[in-house]
Amino acid sequence: MKQVIDLRPVYHRKEERIRAHVLLCCLALLLTRVIENTCGAIFPQIRRELDRITIGTFTGPAGTFRERTEITKLQRDILAQLKADPPPKINQLTPGAG
């Protein structure tokens, strides 16, 4: 477990900030373990797959919109196992000035 939890040198001076930092690191480790146990895969592999979901910005005469990439079957399976909804297809829509 020492390799997984990464507290790094942080330069907090107040005790409550140090405690908060360590607590957040522990919560992140717990969340990582829950995700790994739920999906049956290691977290870097899961994160790498979900990182492939990206958003592109498209601009034209009618305006600007942000659209996510298509969700692959593997990504859909991971999200289903985690009981998480996929991000919306269209993220933002701004009409053009016309």
* The two three-digit tokens of residue 71, written as one number: 């969700």
pLDDT digits (tens, 9 = 90+) for 80-97: 999 999 999 998 888 877
Whether residues 61 and 98 fall in one domain: yes
Q: What pTM, to 2 d.p., does this model score? A: 0.74
Position 47 in a domain = no
Strands 90-95 and 63-68: antiparallel
Number of domains in the chain: 2
In whole angstroms, what is the distance from residue 29 CA to residue 7 CA?
A: 11
Residue 1 reports pLDDT greater than 50: no
What would the mean pLDDT of 72-77 be, rounded to a whole number? 97
Same domain, 66 and 87: yes
Is residue 13 in a domain?
A: yes
pLDDT above 80: residue 78: yes
Please name the helix (run of DSSP H) or strand (run of DSSP E) that holds residue 13, with its range, or none. Answer: none
pLDDT for residue 6: 62
